[in-house]
Amino acid sequence: MSQVTVGVSLKTYFGHERARTFFAALAQRAATHPAVVSGAVRLFVIPTYLQIPAALEAFADSRVLVGAQDVSEFEPGAYTGEVTAAELAEVGVAVAEIGHAERRRLFGETDEVTARKAAAALARGLTPVLCVGESSRMDGTDAARATVAQLAADLAGAPAGPVIVAYEPVWAIGAPEPAPSAHISAVTTAIAAALQASPERAGSAVIYGGSAGPGLLTRLGDSVDGLFLGRFAHDPDALVAVLDEAALLASSGSVPPASSPRRHPRTGTEGAS
């Protein structure tokens, strides 16, 4: 059985009590979802910093991983307002979202900053959820070239360890539809090849984000290892619908395990989403 990765970031849409209600509802569903229980589907949830303890408590008896929406590039010290990878790892956080387009656009984070954050996370045993993607719409070949270059810059100097690369073309974030399947396949296949060429990234996965929802995993097949969801997944039942789809893909073996190299990536022949 192959593993499919599904993640959701809550950004700052939820207040604390709404987040607790969401965690409880999702924990109940995850505890009875066969693919999540078996590990065939790897599920991670990324709340705000203040919501992390409640998420860890809610998912303590499940296989759901809890993440952080950012991480400091610095080691513990005199850095007011920062949250270090060391502290996140200490409390039980497993993944750290790094390099999201909003961080780059709103807070001026560069590839150099992103690389330092990725290095800090990996050094403390956190798996980066590294967000990459072209800012303006272009053809698949050019997008693949630009995104692979960005990936290399974002991991420059980072220690060995697996990463979850979330391909999120900026122009598709918040759009009515995801990017066309052929476009996604062209870029994710190139990302997968770049990761496979680096032995220190063994065990990495490539997932797609950007207006992702039901049906997309089936259309993409083995072009991706999973999805990174946004507001669609704020409804636990809607999220379970994607988990069901992921479970079918995992049981069919269409998506290679996150711990194994991709052997037969699609060439991107599907039509638009």
In a domain, 247, yes or no: yes
| pTM of the model as a whole | 0.91
**Does residue 101 fall inside a structural domain?**
yes
Which residue out of 97, 109, 168, 245 is catalytically annotated? Answer: 168
How many independent structural domains does the chain possess? 1
Q: Is the pLDDT of residue 264 over 90?
A: no
What was the pLDDT predicted at 252? 84
What CATH number does residue 25 fall under?
3.20.20.70
Model confidence pLDDT, tens digit, residues 8-65:
999 999 999 999 999 999 999 999 999 999 999 999 999 999 999 999 999 999 999 9
pLDDT of the residue at 269: 30
234 catalytic? Reply is no
Q: Is 100 assigned a catalytic role?
A: yes
- The string of pLDDT tens digits covering residues 21-32 is 999 999 999 999
Residue 102 located in a structural domain: yes
Position 259 in a domain: no
User: Which residue out of 100, 109, 134, 245 is catalytically annotated?
Assistant: 100
In DSSP notation, the chain reads ---EEEEEE-TT-S-HHHHHHHHHHHHHHHHT-HHHHHTSEEEEEE--GGGHHHHHHHTTTSS-EEEES---SS-SSS-TT---HHHHHHHT--EEEE--HHHHHHH---HHHHHHHHHHHHHTTPEEEEEE--SS---HHHHHHHHHHHHHHHTTTPPS---EEEE--GGGTT-SSPPPHHHHHHHHHHHHHHHHT-GGGTT-EEEEESS--TTHHHHHGGG-SEEEE-GGGGSHHHHHHHHHHHHHHHHHT-S--TTS--SS---------
Q: Which range marks the domain in which residue 16 is found? A: 4-76+93-205+214-234+241-252
- For the stretch 127-183, pLDDT in tens is 999 999 999 999 999 999 999 999 999 999 999 999 999 999 999 998 889 999 999
